[in-house]
Structure 1
Amino acid sequence: MKKVLAFLMLIVSLTIYAQKGTIDTAQIVIPDRFNDAEAMKKPYVIMISADGFRYDYTKKYNARNLLKYSDEGIQSNAMIPSYPSITFPNHWTLITGLYPSHHGLIDNYFYDYQRKQAYAMSNRQNAEDGSWYGGTPLWSLAEKQGTVSASLQWVGSASDAGGIRPTYYYPYHEKFSPSEKADKIINWLKLPEEKRPHFISLYFPEVDGAGHHFGPEAKETEAAVHLIDEAIGNLVQKVNQLGLKNVNFIFVSDHGMIKVDGGNPLEIPAMLLDKNRFDFYNSQTLLRVYVKNPDEVKKVYKELKANQTDDYDVYLDKKLPKYLHFRTKDDKYNRIGQILLIPKAPKIFLEKGKKTSIGKHGYNPKLVPEMKATFFAWGPEFKNNLVIDEFENINVYPLVAEILGLKITQPIDGKIKVLNKTLKKEN
């Protein structure tokens, strides 16, 4: 297991999610934060994300701890990620209850033409600048209402998005093993009652890293699933030994994974290479085009549409299917672009001279089931032995707020009625 762990940690450190520059591994603690009297009576919620943990991995790879906990509590057949099914957009959706077009993180990399600045998830300055992030994250909602929170490397948790950071958090890096992260959660739960966090968010990147480098069917991906399953089993066991009342777990992922046709990629249409007329942003499973002269948009669209192949579709942004919530009308921050080229899985767009990975995500989860994510929940607040249908990930936010008795203070896209049936005390 030690060899597998070291290997997987190396893989994760090589992924596109690695932060640039020297990262301090020390915990950051905001001083003079305490639970108010009501907060100390509240349940605990530990929300765990395993990046890239496809909806079928638990059974496919016999993750025995997650199978046990989900069988005892709540298991969804799948959870539907928001479009595009990419890491940063969906982690921020899970923690704010907003679609990517509404919270502003529409991709892992994008350009804001109003700010005249680029955002890149690998740029620590971007990642910790809350002005890029819309919505009120759950830790901010909790802190504003007298409930102490903590986060272990969830997307955006080192930023001041929502106006307030978690009381306890760590900047992103890949130096902690999954078991070490579990131990840090236990240390938080051992704090005195007035300082103990009641909302904790935790992030694991290992399954995504293995899926990218080796594909979803690989033994390395199976090993990563078992690694996370073991860490969660260890965490739950140690939490139970603490004797705390009403500790609840929510296990989610941001998206799934599919093996792509990297050997026969789609070429970027030649006309888009004219930098005087266009900017384009290629996540390989989605190509977003910004036309610098607005008067040319319709003409360019018609030309691209006339030359499209059976391997991809061309859309005006305003004509994208409504259910994706990624159209012009949804684009609150004007970051998406006017024209979208969407490859059909397993095809990808790839610039000449660039490389890709074996596994990818980002496709429309309604059309590509491999994009679907995972949702399990267990603990005193949840019903037992309940299987629920697929649902959109925007609905996790109001569920957590309901358990913690938090008042949602800004409009969100999620609805408590979707997951209210999972709770023993339905409202």
Structure 2
Amino acid sequence: MNRSTFLIILLSVVIGLASCNSEQQTHPPKTLLVSFDGFGHNYLEKTDTPNFDALVTNGVQAEGLIPVFPSKTFPNHYAIATGLYPENNGFVNNTMYDPKWEEWYRIRDREAVEDGKWYEGEPIWNTLEKQGLKTGTMFWVGSEADIQGMRPTHWKTYDGDMPGKARIDTVMKWMANAGDETVDFATLYYSDVDSKGHRYGTDSDSVKQAIKRADNLMGYLKEQMKEKGLWTNTNIIIVSDHGMVDLSADKLIRLDEIIDMDNTERVNWGPMTGIQPKEGKQEEVYQMLKSAEENYRVYKKEDLPERYHLKNHRRVEDIIMVADLGYTILDEDYQEDFVESLPRATHGYDNNEKAMQAFFIAHGPAFKQGEKVGNFQNIHIYELINHLMGTEPAPNDGSLDSVKVLLK
């Protein structure tokens, strides 16, 4: 080999290494989004949580994460995924009726849950996949449906019985395995804290044990990420969808004692109760509710406060009742069953209530360390993830400026 040939080969190697280093430097770190359903903003104060505490010490924590209204699971998970308020993404409640289609969406109706027509806007996994990145969703609202004719590279049909560690193991395989389907962005979801809160109340031993189990899962996640070389170069965002408030059997609002139920076409029960009056009965129903307004507020759909970002969608009923914190709206048929089975806590109330705020922790190369910031709305997380992944967001209601305080 002559000197000229050697120099050419050497130069090619140097250029190749420089190119590889450049690609490593410009390729964004992976992102993992984790949700613990029903984990209130103050739940870390209820028991020992060494693994969460370590994430807080080495990352950034918000004083609270403000949910969209209603503060329910499906509207908030889909708002986080799309950066859109309910009136702009179609998810106005866990249960909703579409008058155009004359169809119901219920969270336990698998056919509806997996039907992409209910999901408006563009979820984060679609945004990333459209721009050449791979995604994997271990249970997230919307990820089981063919939204825009697309799905994540990897996704799972919801299975509440799947063990927590098994969920982590599967996501770690998606994120760490070499190949064309190695994911850049993934999600994890857990419902344990929420279900124990509903059944036993926010200060119960069962909730405290559920918080500890969540903490143990974070310890296991860290261990597995370190083992697979993901810990130092992955941005982790840990959220919840809403808080929780305790209920009482003496905080009841009997709708059938205020209005004639025969004047209603349908009622969608909850802390936010939607009433669809029969044709010609709207004003009568509204005036009866307004005259008895106590421990709730009542609105015609068009008069809903702008901050609810709810009134501009056909799936919202013509009259909306919003119960005061801790109150339950029901009728005679439901009251006896409610009092006997009395769920100890619930959510769905005004998202301005502190008790409805969720929690937020972020850890990784993009985030500040040992910082605590003020609360912010969860719709901004979509913009945040796009920033972390170096992708262009679809039109949304969020703002990166609202969460820049989290970043280094």
For 1:163 and 1:417, locate their aligned partners in 2 and report how far apart those are by CA, in whole Å.
Answer: 31
- 2:292 maps to 307
Displacement of 1:100 after TM fit? 1.3
Q: Report the CA distance shift for 1:180/1:278 in structure 2 as closer, same or farther (over 3 A).
A: same
Deviates more, 1:345-354 or 1:414-423: 345-354
- 1:82 maps to 68
Cα RMSD over matched residues?
1.9
Would you say 1:103 and 2:89 are equivalent positions? yes
Q: Secondary structure at the match of 2:285?
A: helix
Same amino acid, percent of matched pairs: 30
- 1:325 maps to 309
On the 8 A contact 1:104/1:335 being kept in 2, the answer is yes
For 1:39 and 1:200, locate their aligned partners in 2 and report how far apart those are by CA, in whole Å.
Answer: 21
- 2:328 maps to 348
Render the CA deviation track for 1:315-368: whole Å, top value 9, x for unaligned. Answer: 1222222212123xxx23x111111112112111123343241110011131x3
- 1:335 maps to 315
Instruction: Write the letter of the residue equivalent to 1:279.
Output: R
For 2:287 and 2:138, locate their aligned partners in 1 and report how far apart those are by CA, in whole Å.
Answer: 47
- 2:175 maps to 189
Q: Report the CA distance shift for 1:201/1:39 in structure 2 as closer, same or farther (over 3 A).
A: farther
Displacement of 1:40 after TM fit? 9.5
Displacement of 1:263 after TM fit? 4.5
- 2:233 maps to 246
Q: Secondary structure at the match of 1:184?
A: helix
Aligned match of 2:249 in 262, 276, 291? 262
Displacement of 1:270 after TM fit? 4.2
Deviates more, 1:223-232 or 1:157-166: 157-166
Would you say 1:45 and 2:38 are equivalent positions? no
Displacement of 1:372 after TM fit? 0.5
Q: Secondary structure at the match of 1:140?
A: helix
On the 8 A contact 2:266/2:277 being kept in 1, the answer is yes
Aligned match of 2:283 in 298, 314, 327? 298
Displacement of 1:277 after TM fit? 4.0
For 1:210 and 1:93, locate their aligned partners in 2 and report how far apart those are by CA, in whole Å.
Answer: 24
- Trace 1:131-210 onto structure 2 (pairs within 5 A): 131-210=117-196
Q: Secondary structure at the match of 1:52?
A: coil
Instruction: Write the letter of the residue equivalent to 2:305.
Output: P
- 1:218 maps to 204
Q: Secondary structure at the match of 2:178?
A: coil
- 2:8 maps to none
For 1:90 and 1:234, locate their aligned partners in 2 and report how far apart those are by CA, in whole Å.
Answer: 26
Q: Secondary structure at the match of 2:243?
A: coil
- Trace 1:278-427 onto structure 2 (pairs within 5 A): 278-283=265-270, 285-293=271-279, 295-309=280-294, 311-327=295-311, 331-332=312-313, 334-354=314-334, 355=338, 356-366=342-352, 368-409=353-394, 411-424=395-408
Q: Secondary structure at the match of 1:349?
A: strand
Instruction: Write the letter of the residue equivalent to 2:348.
Output: G
Unmatched runs of 5 consecutive residues or more in structure 2: 1-22
Q: Secondary structure at the match of 2:137?
A: strand
Q: Secondary structure at the match of 1:266?
A: strand
Unmatched runs of 5 consecutive residues or more in structure 1: 1-36
For 1:67 and 1:228, locate their aligned partners in 2 and report how far apart those are by CA, in whole Å.
Answer: 12
For 1:91 and 1:385, locate their aligned partners in 2 and report how far apart those are by CA, in whole Å.
Answer: 27
Which runs of structure 1 show a deviation greater than 6 angstroms over 4 or more consecutive aligned residues?
Answer: 37-40
For 1:318 and 1:38, locate their aligned partners in 2 and report how far apart those are by CA, in whole Å.
Answer: 52
For 2:182 and 2:238, locate their aligned partners in 1 and report how far apart those are by CA, in whole Å.
Answer: 21
On the 8 A contact 1:140/1:163 being kept in 2, the answer is no
Displacement of 1:59 after TM fit? 2.2
Displacement of 1:269 after TM fit? 3.2
Deviates more, 1:259-268 or 1:102-111: 259-268
